[in-house]
Amino acid sequence: MRASTLAITLLATVAALAPSIAADDSIEVKQLLCAINKYRKQNNRPFLAFYSGLNGVAQTHNNLMAARNQLKWQFDDEAPLYDRIKDATKTDAWRATAQLVARGYASDDDFVKTMASDAGTKDIFNGNFTHVGVARNSTGQGPWWTQTLGYLADTQPTTVECPQ
């Protein structure tokens, strides 16, 4: 199947609530995060920190795409991205949010490499975000990927240990 991608960026206003950043012990998520940060580094962009609320949003949307066999950045019965992020992260402090969705790539690395370089997605992938959540689901006519990005002012992204 031909791989395909969609991207959407939303801007939001600022509020002030400090969210907590959770570490994640899922190997799959860690691999995806490491792949993302590998290409961020190659493109001279700062690392993105894992954020469990963003990851929940990515996972839920990704499983919907897998269940419905449809590549979409928002289904009709889904709330707008910013509302889902606000609910899942319990903060309205996001200055910018974005989501990348894709299916049909051969590997996580292929998915991330394309997001980092494709004309339709590279500005988002390399954008001024601080936090990320990412999900892969290999069922149906996938694999499916959703990468959810957010920008929080005044936060220091934490790094994860990645295999060299």
Type of residue numbered 9: T
CB of 66 to ligand NAG, least distance (A): 4
CB of 157 to ligand NAG, least distance (A): 15
Nearer to ligand NAG, 60 or 159 (CB): 60
Which candidate, 160, 151, 158, 161, places its Cα nearest to that of 21? 158
H helix or E strand, kind and range, residue 161: none
Where are the alpha helices (H) located in the chain, listed in sequence order?
A: 27-42, 52-68, 81-89, 108-117, 122-125
CB of 138 to ligand NAG, least distance (A): 7
| Beta-strand pair 49-50/4-11 | unpaired
Nearer to ligand NAG, 139 or 141 (CB): 139
Contacting residues toward ligand NAG, per CB under 6 A: 63, 66-67, 126-128, 137, 139
Nearer to ligand NAG, 138 or 164 (CB): 138
